[in-house]
A and B are shown apart, each in its own frame.
Chain A
Amino acid sequence: MPFCAAPRNSTPMPLKHRQADFAQALLNPDIPVPQGVVDPNGAPAPKRFAVYRNNVTVSLIEAMATAFPVIQKIVGAEFFAAMARDFVRAHPPTSPLLMFYGEAFPDFLRGFTPVAHLAYLPEVAQLELYRRQAYHAADDEPLPDNFLGATAPEDLANLSVVFHPSLRLLEATYPALSLWEWNNASNEANRPALPEHGEAILIARPELTVEMHRLPPGSIQFLTVLAEGAPLGAAAEAGATNPQFDLATCISSLLESRIAISYCLVGAQQ
């Protein structure tokens, strides 16, 4: 034949077994190269097989670096690559949509002892994950920030709001947003002071840019209940479980972040 090695005489390995062996050996460097994976002369070819091993692992490490740039910045590129290598072997992607890969990373970081001293990392990773989800979420048009003006004050308790599909909420025990900003500051002068307390963070993309807002006390509970479809009165009760909750402040923060896309009045509660 002009361009291909001659056919070989051997018992054909079923495709099913071939791919099972191949896949297992790809992600586990301790497993030897599968039998029958050869060079054009029919000789075993571990270096050639290593190209596939390398492609899979390195491309997934790169996907992780793209997905978690702040974590990479905090721990350094070299350390990040080694840590991501452990992660991709333990949690290979389950879908070809790599834009959403890494959901298990915050939990992985919680259990990864070499970064145990950086206890804020999982929350910063969660923030990066939510930013990415918000970026790719469905589009919708936010209501103008004065949309509540049409509702009589006595009806407010019965107002139910639909939020933008990009909305994500993060109650962080560390100042995750300030840490994110600190690491993205263009120069030292622009670095924010890092507070001693945690931060409640709203992540959303009302138009084309992902925005993040610090929320007032009780607002996460307030917004979570609203997002479930309950009316504002019930949401205010949920918020008030936090003693520092102030309804007016939470409503103005909701308006400012432009996350409402529609609203209606539900039947008055008994």
Chain B
Amino acid sequence: MSEQHFSTPADIPARAGAGLKACHYENILENAPDIGWFEIHAENYMGDGGPPHHALKQIRDRYPISCHGVGLSIGSEQPLDQDHLARLKTVCTRYAPGLFSEHLAWSTHDTGFLNDLLPVPYTEETVSRVAEHIDQVQNYLGRPMLLENPSTYVAFDESDMNEIEFLRQIVERTGCGLLLDVNNVHVSANNQHYSAEGYLDEFPVEVVGEIHLGGHAEDEDDDGAPLLIDAHDREVADLVWSLYENLIARIGPRPTLIEWDNDVPDWQTLFKDVERADAVLRSAAKQHSHAA
């Protein structure tokens, strides 16, 4: 097998990046846009070869890459899929990503792969299971990972702690970092009837290694109240931008990804959100250097 090896992971700068989409390969390689980094979905590069690897190798030559898994099912009660872990390691060996992240969610069961990020109840039992899985991932990949806070649409009767408490315990037990998805915060806060600002105030920002921003859709819950859906199919919403701006002003610049996975627009449209995030990061960098 012809595998590319990049010897050192490229550091992901505290700038804005974009989720890498096949329909943008050509544009990126021809026009070399001024962007800090790209993020790949690990699963899209788990084939042995072909055009996706051909393009990614060239892009990795020019930009730092971070790797985001969407199929490991860390929140499963059942054991992690060892074959999938091995495939993740192959992707990480091939491209030496600067960061590796996965979701607080599950997607695999006896019934097969369910292709969604399914929610977990927040209990001691889940903390233990998720922590075991994260230990396993970090040991196997030989690197720390970031765990992403979820978008959720339901709650569970058995939950006996809130999401922040849950995440804090995971960080404490595993030493992993967190990927803070600000759109997910907005979506879950609306859907679970709590304050997004309050959530962010309590979030352990000291271990946040990366931020995600994406677009959401609006639906209705059982009572006809707005239910937000983490759709990644449009621009980042204004309310999410203001949460993000306040957060970055408070904690300083962090690598920030614009996610747009469905109804992917042309590069220029996507790049507008990238530039907007970069502007927020630049102004925070100035403020923080003045303050220092």
Query: Could you list which residues of chain A lie within 8 angstroms of chain B, going by C-beta atoms?
Result: 1-5, 7-8, 10-16, 18-20, 22-24, 26-27, 35-49, 51-52, 55-56, 59-60, 63, 92-99, 135-140, 165-166, 205, 208
Q: Determine the distance from Cα of A27 to Cα of B110 in the docked complex, in whole angstroms.
A: 12
Closest 9 CB pairs of A and B: A96-B71, A136-B47, A4-B162, A3-B194, A139-B49, A36-B157, A138-B48, A92-B112, A2-B198
Q: Which residues of A contact B193 (CB under 8 A)?
A: 5, 40-41
Q: Determine the distance from Cα of A177 to Cα of B84 in the docked complex, in whole angstroms.
A: 34
Q: Which of A12, A18, A96, A165 contacts B113, CB < 8 Å?
A: A96
Contact indicator B202/A26 (Cβ below 8 Å): no
Contact indicator A38/B157 (Cβ below 8 Å): yes
Contact indicator B162/A36 (Cβ below 8 Å): no
Contact indicator B53/A39 (Cβ below 8 Å): no
Q: Which residues of B contact A49 (CB under 8 A)?
A: 153-154
Q: Which residues of A contact B195 (CB under 8 A)?
A: 2-3
Q: Determine the distance from Cα of A165 to Cα of B48 in the docked complex, in whole angstroms.
A: 10
Q: A3-B162, A48-B222 are in contact. Are A96 and B70 (CB under 8 A)?
A: yes
Q: Determine the distance from Cα of A22 to Cα of B203 in the docked complex, in whole angstroms.
A: 29
Q: Which residues of A contact B87 (CB under 8 A)?
A: 97
Contact indicator B229/A51 (Cβ below 8 Å): yes
Determine the residue in chain B with the shortest Cβ distance to A36. Answer: B157
Contact indicator B154/A26 (Cβ below 8 Å): no
Total A-B contacts with CB atoms under 8 angstroms apart: 204
Contact indicator B198/A3 (Cβ below 8 Å): yes
Q: Determine the distance from Cα of A26 to Cα of B120 in the docked complex, in whole angstroms.
A: 15
- Having A3-B196, A14-B125, A93-B112, one finds 11 other A-B pairs with CB under 8 Å, namely A11-B158, A12-B123, A35-B157, A38-B157, A40-B192, A42-B157, A56-B114, A93-B113, A99-B43, A138-B48, A139-B49
Q: A96-B71, A98-B115 are in contact. Are A12 and B160 (CB under 8 A)?
A: yes
**Complex A-B: 15 CB contacts under 8 Å:** A3-B194, A3-B196, A5-B155, A5-B194, A8-B157, A14-B125, A16-B77, A20-B110, A23-B111, A39-B155, A40-B191, A49-B153, A95-B113, A96-B70, A99-B46
Q: Determine the distance from Cα of A13 to Cα of B54 in the docked complex, in whole angstroms.
A: 47
Determine the residue in chain B with the shortest Cβ distance to A62. Answer: B262
Q: Which of A4, A12, A36, A39 contacts B125, CB < 8 Å?
A: A12
Q: Is B51 an interface residue (CB 8 A)?
A: yes
Q: Determine the distance from Cα of A87 to Cα of B2 in the docked complex, in whole angstroms.
A: 35
Q: Which residues of A contact B164 (CB under 8 A)?
A: 3-4
Most buried by B among A5, A12, A42, A45: A12
Q: Which of A14, A52, A135 contacts B118, CB < 8 Å?
A: A52
Q: Which residues of B contact A23 (CB under 8 A)?
A: 109-111, 114
Determine the residue in chain B with the shortest Cβ distance to A209. Answer: B51
Taking the closest CB of chain B, its distance from the CB of A9, in whole angstroms, is 9
Determine the residue in chain B with the shortest Cβ distance to A134. Answer: B50
Taking the closest CB of chain A, its distance from the CB of B193, in whole angstroms, is 4
Q: Determine the distance from Cα of A135 to Cα of B126 in the docked complex, in whole angstroms.
A: 39
Determine the residue in chain A with the shortest Cβ distance to B165. Answer: A4
Q: Determine the distance from Cα of A3 to Cα of B164 in the docked complex, in whole angstroms.
A: 9
Q: Which residues of A contact B81 (CB under 8 A)?
A: 96
Determine the residue in chain A with the shortest Cβ distance to B53. Answer: A139
Q: Determine the distance from Cα of A14 to Cα of B126 in the docked complex, in whole angstroms.
A: 9
Contact indicator A15/B121 (Cβ below 8 Å): yes
Contact with A along B187-208 (1 / 0, CB 8 A): 0010111111011011000000
Contact indicator B156/A36 (Cβ below 8 Å): yes
Q: Determine the distance from Cα of A15 to Cα of B127 in the docked complex, in whole angstroms.
A: 11
Q: Determine the distance from Cα of A92 to Cα of B115 in the docked complex, in whole angstroms.
A: 9
